[in-house]
Structure 1
Amino acid sequence: MTSILLPLQLQALIGLEHRQLSFIAQAVTLAIEKEAKLTIAITCEEIKSNLQCIDAIWEKIQALLGALYVVQLNTSYQAQKPLFNCNVVFQDICGYPIHFEPYIIAVCIVEQDKEKVNTWNTERAESPLQCCILTDNHDDKHTNLIENTGPIEPLVFNRAAVGGTFDHLHAGHKILLTMTAILSAKSMVVGVTDDCMLLKKKHRELIDSTDKRVKAVQEYLNLAKRTIQYEVVPITDPFGPTVTDPTIDALVVSKETLKGGDLVNNERDMRGYPPLELRIIDVISSENASVQGKDMDVLKISSSWIRDYIAKNQPRSTS
C-alpha cells in the first residue's frame, strides 16, 4: 500500500509545537482521502546526540511516540477510520532515507520547504513525489511531554527482546517494537505467541495466523530500523527465547506485563543465566492519564477491540 510522508524536525525531545500537532492532523486527513498510509519521519538533534546510548532518553522517546500516535488516532477516529495505518519512523535511527522508499508517493510539507522536495525529486526522477502543502496558522510554542525520571545509569544493550501476540498491529504494538529496536545495538528477538496458545481468544477466527503475524512484525521492524539483525520467532510458552538465550541482555515490557518480566528473570536464575534488565513502556498504561493534554485512553486500542470492530463491520454472508 502506498504511503504519504510527513517529515517533522525537532531540536529536542521536550514537546511538539502546536503547528506540528496541526500538521499531523492535516496529514492524517489527507492520507485517508487518498486511501494511503501515513509515515511520520522524525529527525531530532537530541536523538542524534544520544545514538550511542538511547537508554539515556528512553522515557522521552516513548512519550513522544505516545503523543504522536494520540494525535493520529484521535484524528482517525473523528474521520471514522479507526484502523487507519500510520507509522512513526526516526530518521536518525532507521538506517535509510525514508523519502527514497518506493512506497512513498507524496510528501506533506510547508510552502517554504518545497525546494527540499524538488531536490529529492531529482533523485527520484522516475517516481517524483507529489507535494501537498500544509496550512501553517499556529505559533511555535512547545507543549511539554510527560516528565519521567529515567534510568539512574543508562546502559547500552546489544540484544533486547520483546514478546506478544501482535495480532492486527496497532499503535501499542508499534511503540513496543520501535522502542525495543532502538534500544538494541546489534540484534533483537521478538517472540510471537503461536496459534496453539490462542484457542480461547474471542473471535479466534479473526486472529491472523502465526506466519502472517510473524511476517507483519518483520515488515514493521524493517521499517523501524535496518541496522540490526532481527529474530522473529513463534513461541509456545510464556518465556520463549528469553530463558534459553544467554546473549539477550534486556527485555521490554509494558506496565501490564511487568510481572512476566520478573518471572523470566526467576527462570533465568534457575538456569544459571544473568538477569535481564527490564525496560518498561508506560505510555500505553492506564496509569498515564494524558500526553500533552491528550487523552491516553486512545492508545489502549487492543487486538481484541480490532477483532470486535471487524466482526461488527464485515459484510454479512447472504448465502
Structure 2
Amino acid sequence: MNRTERLYKIDRMLHERRVVSVDTFLEELGVSLATFKRDLEYMRDRLNAPVIWDRDAGGYRFDKQGVGDAYELPGLWFSASEIYALLSMQQLLSSLEPGLLTPHIEPLLTRLKSLLEQEGMSAELVLKRIRIHKVTARAYEPEHFAPIANAVVQRRRIVIDHNNRNRGEVIRREVSPQRLTHYRENWYLDAWCHLREGIRSFALDAINRVEVTESDALELAESEIQAELDSGYGAFTGKVVEHAELEFTAPRAQWVSKETWHPEQKAAFAENGAYRLTVPFSNPTELIMDILRHVPHVKVVAPESLRRRVQQALQQGLENL
C-alpha cells in the first residue's frame, strides 16, 4: 500500500483500538520500523496528529488535540472509473431479488459502504451527491437472465422466443449461447442461431421465453465471434465491413473528439476546426441513429449508400412532423 493508504490505516487502528503496539503496526502495515517512524513523523509534523507513545500502555495512542491547526488526514478519493464501479455495484446488489445470493449480499454492501465512507461522509450522502442515470437501459424479464447465463457457462443449447422488432413477429429459435455482452446499458446474448445457421446477437429485452435443453451448445472459436460481431460499429454487425467517414462542425467537435465510437476508429482535426471521424460498420442501423443525434452538425462524407440512408431517415422524419 502507498503512504496515503498507510496513514489512513494508522488513523483507523488508533481510533478503533485506542492503543496499538509497534509490533502490531509493523505486522499489519507490512513495513519496516524506519518506514513506520517516518509515517508517524509525517502525521505529527505535517498533519498535526496528536499521536503519543504511552509507556504504561505499551503502545501509541491519540492524545487530546493541542494548540494549533486541527488534525486532518489528506483527502482520499476514488478515480472516476472507481466511483462509477462502486456505485454501480451498490445499485446492482441492492436491486437483486431474494434468491441464492441474498445471504451474501449484506456483507458486500457493508464493504462497499465502508469504501465509500473513506472520505468521512456517509454512503447515503455520496449516493445523494453523485448520481448515475441509466437512461438508455431497456427493461427485460429478470427471470430470463439466470437461465441464459447458466446456459452460457454450462454450454447448453436454449430455445428462445425472439421478438423481431423490425418485422413485428415472434420467432422461435434454437441457439447455442456463446457469450453475454453488456453494451450501452443493455444485455445481449451472442449465439449461433441454428435456424439461420449463423452468428446472431439477441437483445435480452426482445426475448419472451427461454427453455434450456440437454443438448450441448455448438462451440465457436473466439476469433470467429469477434470477426462477426466485434468488427463493426454497434451491437449488431457482420463480416462485411465498410468504413463511414463523418465530419463534425468545429463546435460539435469539442464533444465528439472526446468520444470513442469504435476501438479501431481513426480521427483527425481539419484546419478549420472540423473533426473527421472514420469508423468501421456492417449493419448501419445504430450508426445512423447516432449520426442523427448530431444533425445539423454532422456530414456523411462516405460511403454514398450511408449518406442516402441518413437522408431517407431525415426525409421520413420531416414527413412525420
TM band (smaller chain): under 0.3
**What TM-score comes out, normalization by structure 2 length?**
0.21
Higher relative contact order (CA 8 A, sep 6+): 1
Q: Which has the larger radius of gyration?
A: 2
**What TM-score comes out, normalization by structure 1 length?**
0.21
